Structures are given as structure tokens and as C-alpha cells.
């Protein structure tokens, strides 16, 4: 197949943009494009970013790169003006166009379109602590609801489909088990966090739990924060802009992966941790409940107050960690990138022969 893909941003780190690392949607877009390209499909990704090192697919520039690279401007582009920017690339004679966002107007181009919904803007709005962001996300939700009603749409989780009942198909995100795999643990209790200090990732909550509960109880414990640099604390190390291989190495050494996030559309770091043989402690949200299967594959904490104690228990109980680690490896193989690409390959093949040659579909 000739596959065009729209992802305004791609994973960047190291020499490309020092100090910058992107995950989430960008990582999923890269993994899917890479997986399809390695299977012999011609994949062109339209993005404001350069191709990550080792990419098997081609990258072409989208207009408005300056806006996309500006944090504040991108807040307005994403979900709003991005729908206009998406019309400008010349997608050529692609069999199908895969959009990782802002696809509302793409059916006008006459190419079969598949929109991937990476969670729910409604849940983003409901968990936002900023009124401005809440309003923006509610607006995005209305546009995404319309998109799901008028385009071929894939949701990354069952919860996403519940928010957009018109979604055609659910294909979970997958983890690269050749990159994320178990290894030798650190000689000291090591906690790993991947996210941001603020927003829904709530890294500051973990910092406080570490200072108030973990460190006084286990003085040799270390907290590795893969995020922007925050306040200096005893036992805390910040990592910013890590190449993906260095991140995978941290996962392998960690004893516990801790995530106090209040919302995840899916939660790929949970899966990366499990593939690396790391037990997971997470606050309950839509993504953690689904990926951890209600607590079968990791420890779910319903209330914030219980999070530090659950983390402390996991650090102290080796048998508990090993049990969750073993279950997590099983889960990671269920949700491998190979299985995810298999499902997308079959689905895109069927869409490329869609009876809706313009990418549009009857109102449902």
C-alpha cells in the first residue's frame, strides 16, 4: 500500500533537538509508520519534525512548522487551526491517509481517511485544572465527535470508543518488545516516573510522596524523574531529552514504575514498564484501568492518599514486585507492537478499498 500519514510532531531527542523528548501520540505515530514501512509498504509521514534516526519511512514538511514548534501556539493549532493546515500537503496518490489528529476536513481531499483517536478530549477537559484548557478541550471534543460520525475512525482503547460510540474499530497501542525488555535491576530501590511535573501526569504529587513517605522509610531509595527539571530533592534525579534507548535502560533497572496520572487515553509508559519487567503502581484512571486490566497486571490505587503507601509496600515486598513483573511481561506480549501493526495493516487494507472513495461516509 501507499500510505500517507499526518502527525504534526514526531519523537525528537539528542542531536535533533537537545533536551527535547516527545512520547505519547508522537511515539505511537512513529512506531506505526515504522512497522508498516518495514513490512514493505510505502509510508510518507507529513510532520513539522525531522525523521527520527533509523526511520524506514519518508518524512515531508507540513506548513506552519513555526506554530507547531511553539508551545502556546500549538495549543491553538491542535484541534482547531490544525484542521486547516492538514489540507495543504500534497498527499498524492496515496491509497489511504492516516491522521493522528485534526482530520475533520480531510475527506474534502478525495482520499480514504482513517482517523486514530488517541483518547478523549472530553476526559482531558474533565480532568483539566485550567478553565482555559477545559474550554479548549470541550471544543476539540465536539469536533472529534463529528469526525467519528463522518470518517473511518480507530480508537486506541475501549474507553475511547465509549466516548465516541461511532468509532469503527479498537486497536490498542503496542509496545516494542525488542527495545523494552527485562534486565538487571539497580542495587538500590529505584522508582521511575515518565511524564511531566504538572498537568494530568502530576509528577509533583510523586515528588511529595517520595519526600514525605518513601525517603524517610527507605533512606537509600532513589527517584528517577524523566521529565522537565524540577526542584532539587535528596535522592531525586531528573532526566530530560533522553534517547529512547537510554529510557529503555532506565526502565530495566527500575524496581517500580510509579504513575499518579489522573487521566490517560491509553498510557503507553505502563506498557513499556511491564515489558521491561517492572512492577507498576498507578492511580486509577481510564487508561490505567484498561491497560492494567483492573489491577490484574499492576497495582491500582483509587485514592491519592493511598498512593505513597502502595508504592512503599511495592518497594518493600520483593515477592509482590516479582509477581506483578511476571504478569506485566505477559500483558506486554499481548499488546506488542507487532500485534498492533498486524491489526492496522488488515484494517488499512480494507479501508483502501472503501466504497467511500472521498474518505467521507454517510452520517451515522
**Quick one: 132 and 281 in the same domain?**
no
User: Which residues does 132 contact at the CB level (< 8 Å), separation at least 6?
Assistant: none
**Quick one: 37 and 85 in the same domain?**
yes
Secondary structure class of 236 (helix, strand, coil) = strand
Q: What is the pLDDT of residues 185-240, one digit of tens each?
A: 999 999 999 999 998 999 999 999 999 999 999 999 999 999 999 999 999 999 98
**Quick one: 219 and 159 in the same domain?**
no
The answer to whether 269 and 193 have CB atoms below 8 angstroms apart is: no
Residue 260: CATH number of its domain: 3.40.50.2000
Q: What is the pLDDT of residues 34-70, one digit of tens each?
A: 999 999 999 999 999 999 999 999 999 998 888 888 8
**Quick one: 223 and 251 in the same domain?**
yes
pTM of the model: 0.90
Q: What is the pLDDT of residues 312-338, one digit of tens each?
A: 999 999 999 999 999 999 999 999 999
**Quick one: 141 and 9 in the same domain?**
yes
**Quick one: 211 and 315 in the same domain?**
yes
pLDDT at 353: 66
Closest CA to 291 of 156, 191, 122, 124: 156
CA 205 from centre of chain: 21
Amino acid at each position: 500500500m501507499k500510505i500517507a500519514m499526518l502527525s504534526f510532531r514526531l519523537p525528537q531527542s539528542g542531536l535533533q533537538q537537545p533536551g527535547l523528548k516527545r512520547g505519547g501520540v508522537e511515539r505511537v505515530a512513529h512506531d506505526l509508520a515504522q512497522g508498516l514501512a518495514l513490512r514493505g509498504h510505502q509510508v510518507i509521514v507529513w510532520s513539522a519534525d525531522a525523521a527520527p534516526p533509523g526511520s524506514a519511512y519518508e518524512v515531508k514538511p507540513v506548513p506552519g512548522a513555526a506554530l507547531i514548534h511553539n508551545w502556546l501556539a500549538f495549543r491553538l493549532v491542535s484541534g482547531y487551526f490544525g484542521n486547516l493546515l492538514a489540507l495543504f500537503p500534497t498527499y498524492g496518490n496515496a491509497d489511504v491517509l492516516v491522521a493522528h489528529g485534526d482530520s475533520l476536513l480531510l475527506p474534502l481531499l478525495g482520499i480514504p481517511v482513517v482517523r486514530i483517536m488517541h483518547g478523549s478530549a472530553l476526559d482531558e477537559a474533565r480532568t483539566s485544572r485550567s478553565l482555559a484548557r477545559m474550554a479548549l478541550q470541550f471544543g476539540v471534543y465536539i469536533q472529534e465527535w463529528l469526525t467519528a460520525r463522518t470518517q473511518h475512525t480507530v480508537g486506541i482503547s475501549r474507553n475511547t470508543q465509549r466516548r465516541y460510540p461511532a468509532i469503527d474499530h479498537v486497536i490498542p497501542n503496542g509496545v516494542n518488545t525488542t527495545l523494552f525488555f527485562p534486565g538487571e535491576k539497580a542495587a538500590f530501590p529505584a522508582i521511575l516516573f515518565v511524564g511531566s511535573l504538572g498537568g494530568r501526569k502530576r509528577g509533583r504529587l510523586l515528588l511529595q510522596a517520595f519526600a514525605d513517605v518513601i525517603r524517610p522509610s527507605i533512606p537509600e531509595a532513589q527517584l528517577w524523574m524523566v521529565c522537565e527539571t524540577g526542584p532539587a530533592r535528596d535522592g531525586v534525579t531528573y532526566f530530560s531529552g533522553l534517547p529512547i534507548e537510554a529510557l529503555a535502560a532506565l526502565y530495566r533497572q527500575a524496581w517500580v514504575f510509579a504513575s499518579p496520572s489522573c487521566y490517560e487515553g491509553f498510557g503507553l509508559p505502563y506498557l513499556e514498564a511491564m515489558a521491561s519487567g517492572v512492577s507498576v503502581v498507578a492511580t486509577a484512571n481510564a487508561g490505567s484501568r484498561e491497560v492494567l486490566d483492573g489491577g490484574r497486571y499492576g497495582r491500582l490505587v483509587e485514592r491519592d492518599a493511598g498512593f505513597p503507601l502502595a508504592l512503599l509496600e511495592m518497594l518493600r515486598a520483593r515477592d509482590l514486585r516479582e509477581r506483578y513483573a511476571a504478569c506485566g511481561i505477559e500483558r506486554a506480549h499481548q499488546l506488542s507492537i507487532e500485534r498492533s501493526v498486524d491489526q492496522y495493516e488488515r484494517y488499512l487494507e480494507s479501508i483502501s478499498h472503501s466504497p467511500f472513495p472521498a474518505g467521507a461516509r454517510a452520517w451515522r
